[in-house]
Amino acid sequence: MSLPLLLFFIQFLSPSPQQFPRPCTTPDVLRSKRCCPVWPGDGSVCGSLSGRGFCQDVTVSDLPNGPQYPHSGLDDREQWPLVFYNQTCQCAGNYMGFDCGECKFGYFGANCGERRESVRKNIFQLSVSERQRFISYLNLAKTTVSPDYMIVTGVYSQMNNGSTPMFTNISVYDLFVWMHYYVSRDALLGGPGNVWADIDFAHESAAFLPWHRVYLLFWEHEIRKLTGDFNFTIPYWDWRDAQDCQVCTDELMGARSPLNPNLISPSSVFSSWKVICSQPEDYNQREVLCDGSPEGPLLRNPGNHDPNRVPRLPTSADVESVLSLTEYETGLMDRRANMSFRNALEGFASPETGLAVTGQSLMHNSLHVFMNGSMSSVQGSANDPIFLLHHAFIDSIFEQWLRRHQPPRTHYPTANAPIGHNDGFYMVPFIPLYRNGDYFLSTKALGYEYAYLQDPSQRFVQEFLTPYLEQAQQIWRWLLAAGLLGAAVAGIIATIITVACRRRLKRRKSSAYGERQPLLNSSEEEGSTSCQTTL
């Protein structure tokens, strides 16, 4: 095997960037605060011998945050990741990963020099086999313990300066449920129930869209690594003008149970799923973090929500109105922002007027409330796999806005946004480190596209021609076998008819030899014509 090919396989088999990498959960690493693992490809720290990266000090932004969180030094996430690590791998070129063993989004190959563009499709445009494969991948991720990552189950102050690590195993799917919980959980201020709720590093401000973009990209990557299917992409649900939960069928994300309207149909694999991180009030009261323990069945009762809070699901007109807003962030850059594209798309402002509203959940938020179950609580919402379909479509609307208005990076706030949302803040809880502002850019730069945003010719190929070709590819052996069988049957029938005709001719000839005056039309030529007609 050639060296480039060997490095290519090592790259896919090595751990991808996530929180918390197993190599960085030991007492030695936590005490030294140095998360710089060895890359297996060359046996050096951060792949330095191959020029992939180096172990360097972490420098965090010192620009001011907004007034929403007035505390300092009380939460492990405040200057991410300094409480846990002050040195990490800094990767060069197109390399990425906590050990620099992977490629940046949109690149692949032994040296990460080849470009790729994946296409995310409408879930209703997937072939039957693609849908089944998606469901099976979800269930595999739910039932497979992550070999590369662990979750933290306590705050750093409880770890005796790193000497007593508090980490535990988690499944591949639940890792991402936990991450969504951890980034949005309340800050523990000390004492039962003493928390600060007005803090969220991924919602209610500028980082909402870039953070979820990175989240989906990493989820997609983990599924590819788990299954070996490197062509996998997350499908999206285009819910514009929907009157009900179109994906809530047993063929897709699970229908409603006939026995209990709050549960998933027993015919769906999701009926056996258990949720985690769904009891934030209990954690706050006990001053603990979610530890990934199962807490009951997946809940969903779409449409049976408070109609005053969500009068209807978003329409095509609503989406178009939100896209017409030209400013990404305004004012205090939180849920009170007026005429802000981010705030309107997230659902804290009216799509018609752009003005912030209270007492209603619109756009993105409306889908969460509409599901009326596990997806309706921010911290535990990723328990429901519909979360992925929903956020993929939200990401596509973000992409539409970027293409339409082409904002420079300076439109993303550099200071005074709520904590965790400034341009230079590193996304919680990702290791290695990714700045919010780095993902305020088009999906094309990140190596993926949405089928409905492609030009008409590409869209025809993706949505109509490709599914038929894929189905034909799957059944071509059966078609060939059927053709051969049909030809064989036709040949047998033709042989039988030919033999019968020859015997008939033979009898006629024998009869003709016995006559003094043969019949006028009894000839070999007539017999031949008759046989051809029969055949």
Q: What is the pLDDT of residue 507?
A: 63
Confidence of residue 282 (pLDDT cuts 50, 70, 90): very high
Query: Which residue type does 274 have?
Result: K
Q: What is the pLDDT of residue 291?
A: 97
- The two three-digit tokens of residue 500, written as one number: 């019968």
The answer on pLDDT for 519 being more than 70 is: no
Q: What is the pLDDT of residue 522?
A: 41
- Tell me the mean pLDDT in the region 70-92: 97
**CA 368 to CA 362: how far, in whole Å?**
10
Largest interatomic CA distance in the chain: 126
> Which residue, among 301, 306, 297, 298, has the nearest Cα to 262 in the 3D structure?
301
Q: Which residue has the tokens 């017409």?
A: 324
Q: What is the pLDDT of residue 469?
A: 63
Which comes out higher in pLDDT, residue 519 or 445? 445
**CA 378 to CA 369: how far, in whole Å?**
10
Other CB atoms within a 10 A radius of the CB of residue 162 amount to 17
> Which residue, among 291, 313, 316, has the nearest Cα to 360 in the 3D structure?
313
- Tell me the mean pLDDT in the region 118-142: 97
What is the phi/psi pair of residue 35, to 5°?
Answer: -100, 80
Measured CA angle at 28 (ends 26, 31), to 5 deg: 105
- Tell me the mean pLDDT in the region 376-405: 98
Query: Which residue type does 213 have?
Result: R
What does DSSP say about strands 187-188 and 195-196: parallel, antiparallel, or unpaired? Answer: antiparallel
Please give the distance of CA 472 from its chain centroid, rounded to a whole number. 27
The answer on pLDDT for 500 being more than 80 is: no
The answer on pLDDT for 511 being more than 60 is: no
Confidence of residue 487 (pLDDT cuts 50, 70, 90): confident
Confidence of residue 520 (pLDDT cuts 50, 70, 90): very low
- What is the per-residue pLDDT across 215-257, written as a single tens digit (0 to 9) for each? 999 999 999 999 999 999 999 999 999 999 999 999 999 999 9
**CA 181 to CA 490: how far, in whole Å?**
65
Confidence of residue 455 (pLDDT cuts 50, 70, 90): confident
Q: What is the DSSP string of 118-165?
A: EEE-BGGGS-HHHHHHHHHHHHHHHHSB-SSB-EE-S-GGGSTTTTS-
354 and 344 in contact (C-beta within 8 Å)?
yes
The domain segmentation of the chain, as residue ranges, is 27-304+372-466
- Tell me the mean pLDDT in the region 66-74: 97
The string over 369-406, giving b where at least 16 C-beta atoms fall within 10 Å of a residue's C-beta and e elsewhere, is bbbbbbbbbbbbbbbbbbbbbbbbbbbbbbbbbbeeee
The answer on pLDDT for 533 being more than 50 is: no
Q: Which residues pair with 90 in a beta bridge?
A: 54
113 and 94 in contact (C-beta within 8 Å)?
yes
The answer on pLDDT for 534 being more than 50 is: no
Pick the range with the lowest mean pLDDT from 2-16, 56-70, 189-203, 330-344.
Answer: 2-16
- Tell me the mean pLDDT in the region 96-121: 93
Which comes out higher in pLDDT, residue 317 or 494? 317
Q: What is the pLDDT of residue 54?
A: 97
Query: How far, CA to CA in Å, does 265 sit from each of 143, 201, 262, 299, 384?
Result: 19, 35, 10, 11, 14
- The two three-digit tokens of residue 70, written as one number: 């007035």
Region label for 521, one of left (φ > 0), alpha (ψ between -120 and 50) or beta (otherwise): alpha
**CA 294 to CA 279: how far, in whole Å?**
11
- Choosing among 3.40.50.720, 3.40.50.300, 1.20.1260.10, 1.10.1280.10, the CATH entry for 27-304+372-466 is 1.10.1280.10
- The two three-digit tokens of residue 492, written as one number: 């047998």
- pTM for the whole structure: 0.84
**CA 217 to CA 447: how far, in whole Å?**
10
Measured CA angle at 145 (ends 140, 146), to 5 deg: 100
**CA 101 to CA 103: how far, in whole Å?**
7
- Tell me the mean pLDDT in the region 499-509: 68
Q: What is the pLDDT of residue 509?
A: 55
Share of the chain above pLDDT 70, in %: 86
**CA 284 to CA 286: how far, in whole Å?**
5
- Tell me the mean pLDDT in the region 264-272: 98
Which comes out higher in pLDDT, residue 482 or 508? 482
- Tell me the mean pLDDT in the region 44-63: 97
The answer on pLDDT for 18 being more than 80 is: no
Helix axes 128-143, 172-184, angle to 10 degrees: 70
H or E, element range at 321: helix 316-323
- The two three-digit tokens of residue 116, written as one number: 């790729």
Which comes out higher in pLDDT, residue 61 or 516? 61
Return all residues near 276 (Cβ < 8 A) that are at least 6 apart. 174, 177, 178, 181, 290, 292, 293, 294, 295, 380, 383
Measured CA angle at 329 (ends 325, 332), to 5 deg: 130
State the chain's mean pLDDT as an integer.
Answer: 89
Using only the alpha carbons of the chain, give its radius of gyration.
31
- Tell me the mean pLDDT in the region 108-116: 92
The answer on pLDDT for 110 being more than 80 is: yes
- Tell me the mean pLDDT in the region 123-145: 97
Q: What is the pLDDT of residue 478?
A: 66
